[in-house]
Amino acid sequence: MDSTLRDDGARYTLTVERRLSYPPAKVWRVLTQRDLLVQWFPCDIEGDWIARAPLRFHFFHGEDEDMPEEEQRGEVLTVDEGRLLEFRWGTHVLRYELEPDGDGCLLRLYETFDDPTWGARNAAGWEMCLDNLGLVLDGAAALKFVASVWRAKFERYRDEFEPEFGPQDDPTGKHPLLKDEAVAGDA
């Protein structure tokens, strides 16, 4: 899976694509059903998936201890069931698009944010999240954010993004989600 980072003028958009061997309706459930979402997304999301509904992001390992309150809140922006989900998470905007593709679908994840130094770390993180989403779809236990796996992905994206977007933020050793070894179902 490859991610791309684009300069939109005032903001930056990271795009991650993944072909899934499941129909959009099944993927939609894993994107929006709280008990499934919490298995692959980096935190729990409280709220209803209807336009303009408020969202609250709950973290599992203390990631929010130094996080400003506004970064723990969001809002649903757009919902087209089975096709499009867009929401604000603090100052970031996440958009999922599902497109039928044979017996499965293509998932496109777009994240828009302010700081280009977040490109490689977020690309590596979303790649791991979508790996876990695939495991959830398969009915397997997710493996969350193994530091060595994340690091390899981060280094690949750092090498790709630095020439155009400058040095990339590296949270190795500082981010509580990055575990030293795989822990099945660790949420």
Query: Does residue 177 fall inside a structural domain?
Result: no
The CATH number that applies at residue 56 is 3.30.530.20
β-pairing, 54-58 with 84-89? unpaired
What pLDDT, on the 0 to 100 scale, is given for residue 75? 98
Give the largest CA-CA distance in the chain. Answer: 45
Examine the pLDDT at 70 and tell me if it is beyond 70.
no
Q: What integer is the mean pLDDT of 154-160?
A: 96
Examine the pLDDT at 177 and tell me if it is beyond 60.
yes
Q: What integer is the mean pLDDT of 68-97?
A: 92
CA distances 13 to 16, 69, 94, 114, Å, are: 10, 23, 10, 9
Query: Does residue 27 fall inside a structural domain?
Result: yes
Query: Does residue 173 fall inside a structural domain?
Result: no
Q: Dihedral, CA atoms, 159, 161, 163, 169, nearest 10 degrees?
A: -80
| pLDDT tens per residue across span 86-102 | 999 999 999 999 999 99
What pLDDT, on the 0 to 100 scale, is given for residue 175? 63
CA distances 140 to 24, 78, 125, 136, 179, Å, are: 19, 30, 19, 6, 19
What pLDDT, on the 0 to 100 scale, is given for residue 176? 58
Examine the pLDDT at 145 and tell me if it is beyond 90.
no
Q: What is the DSSP string of 57-72?
A: EE-SSSTTTTS-GGGG
DSSP state, residue 147: H
Residue 34's domain comprises 3-165
CA dist., res. 14 & res. 120, Å (int)? 9
User: Model pTM?
Assistant: 0.89
| pLDDT tens per residue across span 2-29 | 899 999 999 999 999 999 999 999 999 9
- Angle at which helices 119-138 and 24-32 pack, to 10 degrees? 110
Percent of the chain clearing pLDDT 90 (strictly above)? 74
Query: Does residue 182 fall inside a structural domain?
Result: no
Query: Does residue 15 fall inside a structural domain?
Result: yes
What pLDDT, on the 0 to 100 scale, is given for residue 58? 86
- Beta-carbon count within 10 A of 129 CB: 19
Query: Does residue 57 fall inside a structural domain?
Result: yes
Total of domains in the chain: 1
Query: Does residue 70 fall inside a structural domain?
Result: yes
Dihedral sign for Cα atoms in the order 31, 36, 41, 42 = positive
Examine the pLDDT at 50 and tell me if it is beyond 50.
yes
- Beta-carbon count within 10 A of 106 CB: 16
- Locate tokens 């390992």: which residue? 61
Query: Does residue 85 fall inside a structural domain?
Result: yes
Q: What integer is the mean pLDDT of 56-68?
A: 67
As a whole number, the mean pLDDT across the chain is 89
pLDDT band with cut points at 50, 70 and 90 for residue 181: low
